């Protein structure tokens, strides 16, 4: 199964076979962006969830199978949308450059 990128979020204690995980990191000029917000929008664009990034710029969602949009909002940056596919049994890793 897929795992987190080296130095990324730990998957210890998570049964990846039973979850559809979307996670990643927000970066500006290669540096982590803490205190940004990442929204999970469904295939129709409806808001589903939102999480703040950690000090290391990381975020994680447990999503349902399907197509999603991640909308990243950060100070002094335009919103950034990224399409992502979530599937039970896998980890979708996304790096967001703002």
pLDDT tens, the chain, 98 aa long: 344 445 578 888 777 788 899 999 999 999 999 999 999 999 999 999 999 999 999 999 999 999 999 999 999 999 999 999 999 999 999 999 99
* 36 in a structural domain: yes
Is residue 4 in a domain?
no
**Residue 24 located in a structural domain:** yes
pTM of the model: 0.86
Q: How many structural domains is the chain composed of?
A: 1
Residue 59: domain span: 17-97
pLDDT score at 7? 56
Q: First CA to last CA across the chain, in angstroms?
A: 29
């Amino acid at each position: 199964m897929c795992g987190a990128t080296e130095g990324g979020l730990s998957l210890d204690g998570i049964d990846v076979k039973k979850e559809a995980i979307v996670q990643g990191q927000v970066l500006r000029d290669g540096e982590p962006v803490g205190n940004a917000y990442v929204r999970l929008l469904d295939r129709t664009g409806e808001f589903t969830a939102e999480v703040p990034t950690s000090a290391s710029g990381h975020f994680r969602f447990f999503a349902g199978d399907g197509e999603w949009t991640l909308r990243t909002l950060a100070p002094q940056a335009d919103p950034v949308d990224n399409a992502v596919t979530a599937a039970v049994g896998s980890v979708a890793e996304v790096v967001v450059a703002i």
